[in-house]
């Protein structure tokens, strides 16, 4: 058995209030609180249906023991892509990084594993963690919740403090970038800080805490000429997922009761709407 704890929730929503209101054709602010709540509900539904984390968050998977091989388990490397019995799946995708693997030893002392003793296949969805070659999992205390796998997942994080004349901006969220990493940006309900463009690759030029600057792919540092508008993000949440959220918000906004009154006619789901999620669904056994 296993369970997960949300250690650090996302620092915003992938769809801004402004974009949702534009989708709903709402021009006043009287129902901003309701629409904001509907955005959160729709995002949670999207994440639940797909098992994908939209904005970066930190999760902790808690298990009673390490996975292990045993009599009757299949050979570990008989196929091109394998799921060895001693590997564990990290349920939320897309995987970003594994912060730590901790466990209680036989003296009930919390131990942190050396990252050099395990490896992650982040190309798999969900990601797999297994011991490195010639390594084995340690023996934990035989009690429930003895092993903890803390990891980050998600597509993007909000940015703030982008001002004209500065190259730096602040990232809000658990994920960090290294100098030389490639990233993209997107905006919801406005425009990115100029001259940043959506769906365009950039290089992390400087990283100081949660403050970053970027350069183009030729290494030329980008100096911002304005602060942008709406909500801006580093990383990109797929448009299909954001579009589904907008459609769900529209349905919840127009149908606010638990039941439909008969004189309103028959209400039918549009079958193509959930099809937007199909390319992103992840199955867990």
Phi, psi for residue 244 in degrees, rounded to 5: -60, -40
Q: What is the pLDDT along the chain (285 residues), one digit of tens a residue?
A: 458 999 999 999 999 999 999 999 999 999 999 999 999 999 999 999 999 999 999 999 999 999 985 444 555 566 667 777 889 999 999 999 999 999 999 999 999 999 999 999 999 999 999 999 989 999 999 999 999 999 999 999 999 999 999 999 999 999 999 999 999 999 999 999 999 999 999 999 999 999 999 999 999 999 999 999 999 999 999 999 999 999 999 988 987 766 555 555 565 565 545 656 666 676 655
pTM score of the predicted model: 0.86
User: In Å, how far are 63, 144, 147 from 15, measured between CA atoms?
Assistant: 33, 38, 35
Q: Alpha carbon 283 to chain centroid distance?
A: 16
At 1 the pLDDT is 44
- Counting Cα atoms < 13 Å in the Cβ hemisphere of 133 gives 1
At 71 the pLDDT is 42
Q: Which residues contact 66 (CB under 8 A, 6 or more apart)?
A: 86, 88, 103, 137, 138, 140, 147
At 75 the pLDDT is 55
How far apart are alpha carbons 175 and 58 in whole angstroms? 8
How far apart are alpha carbons 95 and 258 in whole angstroms? 36
At 72 the pLDDT is 43
- Cis before 270? omega within 30: no
3-state secondary structure of 14: coil
Residue 129 DSSP class: E
Query: Which of 143, 137, 169, 170 has the alpha carbon at shortest distance from 69?
Result: 137
At 263 the pLDDT is 53
Say if CB 260 and CB 267 are below 8 A apart.
Answer: yes
DSSP output for 62-91 = EESS-----TTPPPTTSSSS---TT-EEE-
How far apart are alpha carbons 53 and 96 in whole angstroms? 11
């Amino acid at each position: 058995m296993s369970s997960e704890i949300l250690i650090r929730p996302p620092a915003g929503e992938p769809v801004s209030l402004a974009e949702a209101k534009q989708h709903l054709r709402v021009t006043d602010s009287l129902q901003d609180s309701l629409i904001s709540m509907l955005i959160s509900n729709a995002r949670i539904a999207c994440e639940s249906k797909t098992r994908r984390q939209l904005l970066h968050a930190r999760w902790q998977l808690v298990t009673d023991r390490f996975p292990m091989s045993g009599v009757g388990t299949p050979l570990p490397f008989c196929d091109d892509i394998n799921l060895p019995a001693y590997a564990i799946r990290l349920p939320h995708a897309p995987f970003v990084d594994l912060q730590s693997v901790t466990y209680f030893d036989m003296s009930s002392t919390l131990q942190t594993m050396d990252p050099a003793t395990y490896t992650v296949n982040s190309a798999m969805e969900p990601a797999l963690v297994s011991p490195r070659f010639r390594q084995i999992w340690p023996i934990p205390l035989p009690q429930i919740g003895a092993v903890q796998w803390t990891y980050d997942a998600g597509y993007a994080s909000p940015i703030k403090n982008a001002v004209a004349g500065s190259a730096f901006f602040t990232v809000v969220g658990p994920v960090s970038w290294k100098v030389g990493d490639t990233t993209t940006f997107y905006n919801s309900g406005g425009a990115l800080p100029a001259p940043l463009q959506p769906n365009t690759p950039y290089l992390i030029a400087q990283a100081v805490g949660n403050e970053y600057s970027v350069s183009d792919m030729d290494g030329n540092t980008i100096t911002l000429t304005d602060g942008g508008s709406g909500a801006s993000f580093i990383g990109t949440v797929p448009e299909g997922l954001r579009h589904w959220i907008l459609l769900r918000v529209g349905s919840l906004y127009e149908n606010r009761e638990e039941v439909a009154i008969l004189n309103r006619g028959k209400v039918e789901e549009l079958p193509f709407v959930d099809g937007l999620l199909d390319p992103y669904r992840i199955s867990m056994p």
